[in-house]
Amino acid sequence: MSNNFVLKNFYKKYCKILTSTIQLAKKLHYNELISQSENETKAAWNIIKSLTNKRAESSEEPVLNIEGTLTKNPQILAENFNDYFSNNVEELVTKIIKQDNSDLSKQSYKQYLVNAFKQPFAPIN
């Protein structure tokens, strides 16, 4: 790169002008897309998704390997998820109660949750 101070300043100014021109062109383009669409909210979200490189997942049905058998049946999938999470929660609660010799071990986990969340949650805006 050249050591010419004038050339460096010109280059920096040109880069700033080019950047602002590109930003303005993008803004005008996206505003035009939104204003021409029938559903402005959907158009805005499509623009956001394209800018963040997030696209809708494939529309393929989920497949789960259950004991060596691949299944797409929603009823079987739901039952297996339900069994998995129900059983694991019970096991975790049992482990927590066994490890803790404090008051928690003397009361049920349901009673613990009731006591832990007596005050209302803060409103979400």
**Dihedral sign, Cα of residue 117, residue 121, residue 83, residue 66:** negative
Q: What average pLDDT does the chain have?
A: 80
- Please write the tens of the pLDDT for every residue from 71-121: 888 888 888 888 877 777 777 777 776 666 555 555 676 777 777 777 776
Q: Which one is predicted more confidently, 9 or 62? A: 9
State what percent of residues in the chain have pLDDT above 70. 79
Q: Hey, which residues does 66 pair with through a beta bridge? A: 69
In this prediction, residue 125 carries a pLDDT of 57
Q: Are 47 and 33 in contact (CB under 8 A)?
A: yes
DSSP state of 67: T
pLDDT of 39 > 80? The answer is: yes
Structure tokens at 34: 């939104």
- Token pair belonging to 99: 């490890």
How is the chain split into domains, by residue range?
5-51, 64-116
Q: How far apart are CA 26 and CA 60, in angstroms?
A: 34
Lookup result for tokens 């002008």: 17
Q: What is the pTM of this model?
A: 0.39
